[in-house]
Structure 1
Amino acid sequence: MARHKEFDEAEVLRKAMVLFWRNGYEKTSMQDLVDYMNIHPRSIYDTFGDKQTLFLRALQLFEEIIEKRMEQQIKPINSVKLATRRLFEMVVFSDEEKPPGCLIVNTAVELTLHDQEVADRISKSFGKTESFIYELLLQGQISKEISDQLDIEKSAHLFIIHLLG
């Protein structure tokens, strides 16, 4: 008979996300995860698989959190100029509750040259953000807030480059 989990899977996954975000993938050992998540090593392996699988789940959680924040905090803003400003503020300004930087960007720097699966995930994530910016700019053209002469495809690409920088 299987044992009942004595931890909240969502909570320990969030802890793993924060630890990977703070330390990076390579500098986070399984022992670091055990200590920070406060669960038995066997529970990590049984629930999440190996370190890379846990990392990919943590990265997915981060992406979901960011997408939700963009949908709730950026998309409802009626002004495209204010919305893009808030998007940059969301990325640039941090608080005490989260590590500095962006887990996706940090991962791009650390792992994309060595791990094709991660590179594909990061590329897809960057593409989603660029599409989000494109949609903001398109709404700005529709509302006449920005010129219809602006090439919004190139502009969205330029925005994502600056956002990631």
Structure 2
Amino acid sequence: MARNVEFNQEEAVRKAMEVFWKKGYNGASMRDLTDAMQINPSSLYNTIGDKRQLFIRCIHDYTQGRIQAVKKHAANFKSPLKALVSIINESVNSILYASNSCLAIKTTFELAVTDKDVQAILKNESDLTYDFFLSLVRRALEEKEIDPATDAEMMADYIVNSFTGWHESYILHQDAARIKKMAKYLITQISR
């Protein structure tokens, strides 16, 4: 009789996420994943499912973790403008110094066009991120920290889309000064 292999699913999923992050969905083999997770394929199939189900769980966990992290970071600031500036600077640091670029952005270009479930997860994260930045911009307007003529919706969109563009730019050009200059420009636009 086969024995059930017990393992820490959360830890195993985190290890699989690292593989997907490095190799992408299509580049990651089942062997890559089960080796990293330190489980056999039958344990994966019996608990989480196939490669796609594992990926869906990974990208869901990743996007939820990002939203929680940015909200937690912003909570450290009384000023919504200071929170925005700090988040922008943290994004720059992540782009320039993290070992992997954004998993959500990589996944958008690899799978979101063809996989509706992945697209839905990424759209949800994008919507939540937009709503969060919109709330910060509106608070900054209420507290008269930014120009009262600022279109809050446009500014929130501008911030979110800037992050995506910076990731792409850095992947292609590896130009840290360029990313820092764009961030400084964004902060100037917000702070007018």
- How high is the TM-score relative to the length of structure 2? 0.78
- How far apart are the structure 2 equivalents of 1:126 and 1:22? 22
- Structure 1 residues 37-77: Cα deviation after superposition (integer angstroms, max 9, x where no partner): 11111011111111111001001111121122112112331
Aligned to 1:102: 102
CA drift of 1:121 comes to 1.7
- Structure 1 residues 116-159: Cα deviation after superposition (integer angstroms, max 9, x where no partner): 22112211211111111101101101111112221101111111
- The aligned length equals 164
Aligned to 2:136: 136
Q: Decide which moves more: 40-49 or 83-92.
A: 83-92
Tell me the amino acid that sits aligned with residue 71 of structure 1.
K
For the 8 Å contact 1:21–1:103, the answer to whether it is kept is yes
Alignment of 1:29-48 (within 5 A): 29-48=29-48
- How far apart are the structure 2 equivalents of 1:136 and 1:2? 54
- How high is the TM-score relative to the length of structure 1? 0.90
Tell me the amino acid that sits aligned with residue 94 of structure 1.
S
CA drift of 1:5 comes to 4.1
Aligned to 2:156: 156
For the 8 Å contact 2:64–2:125, the answer to whether it is kept is no
CA drift of 1:4 comes to 5.0
For the 8 Å contact 2:63–2:122, the answer to whether it is kept is no
The alignment-based identity, stated in percent, is 32
CA drift of 1:8 comes to 0.8
Aligned to 1:84: 84
Aligned to 1:24: 24
- How far apart are the structure 2 equivalents of 1:41 and 1:99? 28
- How far apart are the structure 2 equivalents of 1:99 and 1:17? 14
Aligned to 1:73: 73
- Structure 1 residues 93-135: Cα deviation after superposition (integer angstroms, max 9, x where no partner): 239x964211111100111122122112211211111111101
- Structure 1 residues 6-36: Cα deviation after superposition (integer angstroms, max 9, x where no partner): 3111110111111111211110110100111
The 3 A distance-change label for structure 1 pair 156 and 30 is: same
For the 8 Å contact 2:80–2:136, the answer to whether it is kept is yes
CA RMSD of aligned residues (A): 2.1
Flag as ranges the 4+ runs of structure 1 deviating above 3 A.
1-5
- How far apart are the structure 2 equivalents of 1:158 and 1:108? 18
Aligned to 1:119: 119
